Amino acid sequence: MSDIRKELVRAAINRAYALIDYSVYNNAHKEYEFKKQTIIDDESLTDDEKSEAIEILTGYYDECKIVNNEGTKRICENCNKECLAILYCEYCVRNYLKANFSNWTSGNDNIDNLIQECQMKAISPYLIPEWIPYNNFQNVKYLTKGGFSEIYTADWINGHFIKWDSKEQQLKRIGESGFVQYVVLKRLDNVENANQSWFEEAKSHLTISNKWGEVVQCYGLTQDPLNGSYMLIMNQLDINLREYLQQNHNQLTWKKRILISVDVIKALLRVHYEDAIHRDLHSGNILFKTRFSITPEVIIGNEQTFKSDIYSIAMLMWEISSGQPPFINYEHNYDLAMNIVNGIRPKIVSGTPLEYKNLMKQCWDADSSKRPDTDTLWKKISGINLFYQSKSNESLTQREENNYLEIDSNINSLKNYMNSTSKLHQFENLPEPRNATEEELEAFYSKPYNFYIPDNIDDFGKSVNQRDSDTLINKDNSKILPQVFNELQINSSKTDVQNNYYREEIMQQQRKNIDIDDEVQNNPNLHSEEQEELEIPDNI
C-alpha cells in the first residue's frame, strides 16, 4: 500500500460533503452514494487514498443508519443478527459491553445505570461513554474555572475505545497503538438558583455526545478521590474557534468561513434534535464565557429558549465574518445591554456575502418569533454553502483589504475583552426588545469607542482568572439571569480535526468535521465588494 496523504484525503471528504445538494440527495443513502462517487471521481487521490476516504465515509454512514434505525441490513457473521453497520456489528459491540458490566462500578447506582443505558445504545465503537477510575489519569493540572465548574487537563492511560476487532471480538483502545489521550476533566457541582444538578448535566452530555459526532465527545465520568466530586471526561481542544479566527483571519476565504458556520449550525441542530437548549453558544468553548452574545429577551429577564440559541448563532456568524468577538471595543456594561435591547447589533463587515448577511440579520431579530428555527437555518446555510463550494477559486475575486474592523486590530481591545470584570446590574422597568432603525445603528457606530485601555499593558495580566465570569443581570431585585450553561462544546474549530488525526491512523474512520485548514483550498479568494450584491438563486 502506498503512503496515504492524510490531508488530501480529508480535503476530498470535505469537498464531498460541501457539494451535496440536500434537496436532491434527501436521505442518508443518497448522500452516501453521492459522496462515495465524488471520491471515486477525484483525480487528486490514489486508489489507496480513495479506499481510505470511502471507508471513513462508510463509518459516518454506519452511525447515521443506526441513529435513524433505517437502511439496508446484513447478517452478522458472528452473532447472526441483522445489523445495520457495515464496518462492525452494533449488536456485537453492545454485547461485549454488557458482558463487562460486572467488571466495573462507580459506587453510585444512578451513574451505573446511566452509563449502562448509554452503552446499550452505542452506535459506534468510538462513541461509547464509560466509568473511568481516577487512577487512570496522569498529569492532572488545573486549567481554569468555566462558569461554575473547575476545569482540569489530564492524560488518560490507554484512552478511549477506538475500533471493534471483529476477529478477536473485542473493543480496542487508542492507547494500544501508542497514542496519548489528552482530555479535559470538568468538575460537576450542584448550582443554586439554576434548577440543574450535576447528574442532569452529566446525563445531558453523555446522551447527546453518545449520538452526535458534531458535539464534542464526552468519554464518561470519574470521581475525584480527594473530595468525592464527580467529573466529566471530555475531548481536549487545544485551540478554540475564537483563537483560530484571530490567528488566521487574514488567510480565511469565504468558502472556509461558510464551512465553519455550517459546522456550528449542524452541531446546534443535533442538540435541538435532543430537545435541549445549548444556552452558552460562543466561540470560546470552555476557555471563555459568553458576554454580550446574551439575547435581548434574556437581558430583560425572560427564559432561554431554542430561539435564544439562534440569536447566539448570529453572533457567532458575525464573529466568523469579522475575526473578533461582538462589541469588543465597547465596555460591557448597563449602557451596552440597553443598546442591545433597543436593537443595536455589531456592524456588518464590508464584503460579507449578501445572503449570509441577510441570514445573520434574521437570526438576531429582536422578535424571537421571526428568527428561523434550526431546520430552516440549516437549509439556508447549506444552500449558501453549496453555492460557494461549487465555485472555483478563480471565480471568486480576492479582496484587496482584509475583513478586520479597523479598531479591532488593536490587541489591547482583545485582552481587555478577555479580562473584563463582571458586574451585577440592577435592571428595572426594562422596555421590550426591538429592532433599531438604520439611522440609530449608524449613530451608534459613529460614536467614539468607550472601551478603557490602561496605560500599563502589564495590568492586563492581573485579572486573567476573572475572564470566565459572566455579567449577571438582576431584574427587579428578584431574578438572577441564567448562570449555568450546559457547555456542550461544538466542533467548529480546527483542533477537532487535529485531535482526531490519530483516529484515521488507527481505523480509517472519523466523524465528519469540516477541516477549515484545508491546504487544497489555499487560494485566499475573499469576497469582493462587487460580489456583495450577488443574489444566490432561490432554488439552491
Model confidence over 505-526: pLDDT tens digits?
Answer: 433 333 333 332 333 333 333 3
3-class DSSP state for residue 323?
Answer: coil
Helix (H) or strand (E) holding 505: helix 501-507
Q: Which of 330-344, 397-411, 479-493 has the lowest mean pLDDT?
A: 479-493
Q: State yes or no: pLDDT of 16 exceeds 50.
A: yes
In 3D space, the residue among 317, 377, 264, 389 whose CA is nearest the CA of residue 14 turns out to be 389
Angle at the Cα of 500 (from 202 to 72), degrees rounded to 5? 80
pLDDT of residue 296: 77
Asked if residue 524 belongs to a domain, the reply is no
Is the same domain home to 357 and 415? Answer: yes
Are 222 and 255 contained in the same domain? no
- The residue-averaged pLDDT of 47-63 equals 94
Q: Is position 292 within any domain? A: yes
Q: What is the pLDDT of residue 239?
A: 60
Contact 323, 254 (CB under 8 A): no
Question: What's the whole-model pTM score?
Answer: 0.61
Helices then strands, counting H and E runs in the chain, come out as 17, 13
- State whether 173 and 219 are in the same domain: yes
Establish how many alpha carbons lie within 13 A of residue 75's alpha carbon, considering only the half-sphere containing its beta carbon. Answer: 2
The pLDDT-based confidence of 440 (bands split at 50, 70, 90) is confident
User: What is the Cα–Cα distance from 300 to 428, expressed in whole angstroms?
Assistant: 9
Kindly state whether residue 384 falls inside one of the protein's structural domains. Answer: yes
pLDDT bin (cut points 50, 70, 90) of residue 198 is confident
114 pLDDT tier (thresholds 50, 70, 90): very high
Specify the higher pLDDT residue, 19 or 35.
35
CA distance 193 to 480: 8
Between CA 151 and CA 457 the distance in angstroms is 27
Per-residue pLDDT band at 196 (split at 50, 70, 90):
low
Distance CA 1, CA 249 (A): 38
Q: Are 131 and 111 in contact (CB under 8 A)?
A: yes
- The fraction of the chain above a pLDDT of 90, given in percent, is 36
pLDDT band at 81; cut points 50, 70, 90: very high
CA distance 116 to 106: 11
Long-range pairs for 92-97: beta carbons < 8 A, 24 or more residues apart: 92/164, 92/166, 92/169, 93/122, 93/125, 93/128, 93/164, 93/171, 94/119, 94/120, 94/122, 96/169, 96/170, 96/171, 97/122, 97/128, 97/171
For residue 347, give the nearest of 374, 329, 363 by alpha carbon: 329
pLDDT attached to residue 285: 40
Whether the pLDDT of residue 484 is over 60: the answer is: no
Q: What's residue 517's pLDDT?
A: 33
From the list 90, 64, 92, the residue with the least C-alpha distance to 78 is 92
Give domain status of residue 80, yes or no: no
3-state secondary structure 231-277: EEEEECCCCCHHHHHHHHHHHCCHHHHHHHHHHHHHHHHHHHHCCCC
pLDDT band at 212 (very low <50, low <70, confident <90, very high): low
Do 366 and 482 lie in one domain? The reply is yes
pLDDT for res 167: 92
**Per-range mean pLDDT, top range of 105-119, 148-162, 257-271:** 105-119
Distance CA 256, CA 393 (A): 12
> 142 and 34, same structural domain?
no
Cα dist from 107 to 99, 111, 159, 230, 533, whole Å: 18, 8, 22, 11, 62
Do 214 and 247 have their domain in common? Answer: no
Same domain (yes/no): 404, 477 = yes
**Segment 293-314, tens digit of pLDDT:** 567 777 767 777 888 888 988 9
Verify that 281 and 386 share a domain, yes or no: yes
Band (492; pLDDT cuts 50, 70, 90)? very low
Number of domains in the chain: 3
Q: Which domain holds residue 358?
A: 241-488
Residues 225, 246: one domain? no
* Rounded Cα–Cα distance for residues 344 and 210 (Å): 39
Question: Contact 137/180 with Cβ under 8 angstroms?
Answer: no
Other beta carbons within 10 Å of 184: 23
Residue 374: the pLDDT is: 87
CATH number of the domain encompassing residue 430: 1.10.510.10
Higher pLDDT, 285 or 485: 285
Answer yes or no: is 411 within a domain.
Answer: yes
Write the CATH number for 97. 3.30.200.20
Q: Residues of 127-142 as b/e, b for ≥16 C-beta within 10 angstroms?
A: bbbbbbeeebbeeeee
- Choose one of 471, 488, 505: the last residue of a domain: 488
* Nearest Cα residue to 502 out of 55, 162, 13: 162
Final residue before a domain boundary, out of 202, 236, 270: 236
Q: 380 and 280, same structural domain?
A: yes
> What per-residue confidence (pLDDT) applies to 449?
52
209 or 174, higher pLDDT: 174
Residue 1, pLDDT score:
55
What's the pLDDT band for 412 if we cut at 50, 70, 90?
very low
CA dist 143 and 419 (Å) reads 16
Please classify residue 494 by burial: count the beta carbons closer than 10 Å to its beta carbon, then call 0-12 exposed, 13-18 middle and 19+ buried: buried
Ranked by mean pLDDT, which of 241-245, 372-376, 527-531 comes out on top?
Answer: 372-376
Rounded to the nearest 5°, which phi and psi values hold at 75?
-90, 120
Q: What is the pLDDT of residues 227-283, one digit of tens each?
A: 899 999 988 765 677 888 888 888 888 988 998 898 888 877 766 565 544 444 444
Q: Tell me, what's the pLDDT at 429?
A: 63
Least confident of 48-52, 188-192, 221-225, 391-395: 188-192
Residue 478 has pLDDT above 50, yes or no: no
31 within some domain: yes
> What gap in Å lies between CA 353 and CA 512, rounded to an integer?
26
DSSP state of 108: -
How confident is the model at residue 97, as a pLDDT?
A: 98
500 found inside a domain? no
Task: Average the pLDDT over each of 208-212, 351-355, 408-412, 515-519 and give the range with the smallest value.
Answer: 515-519
For residue 113, the one-letter residue type is N
Cα angle: 473, vertex 478, 482; to 5 degrees: 45
pLDDT surpasses 80 at 315: yes
Please count the other Cβ atoms lying within 10 Å of the Cβ belonging to residue 277: 20
pLDDT at 314: 92
Q: What is the per-residue pLDDT for 104?
A: 97
pLDDT band at 216; cut points 50, 70, 90 = confident
Closest CA to 211 of 328, 364, 66, 386: 66
The confidence score (pLDDT) of residue 215 equals 65
- If asked whether residues 96 and 45 sit together in one domain, one would say no
Last residue of a domain, one of 72, 101, 126: 72
Residue 507 located in a structural domain: no
Has residue 480 got a pLDDT over 90? no
Give 131's DSSP letter: E
- State yes or no: pLDDT of 494 exceeds 50: no
Q: Which residues of 395-433 are buried (b: 16+ CB within 10 A; e: fewer)?
A: ebeebeeebebeebeeeebbbbbbbbeeeebebeebeeb
CB 289 within 8 A of CB 316: no
Whether 208 and 354 map to the same domain: the answer is: no
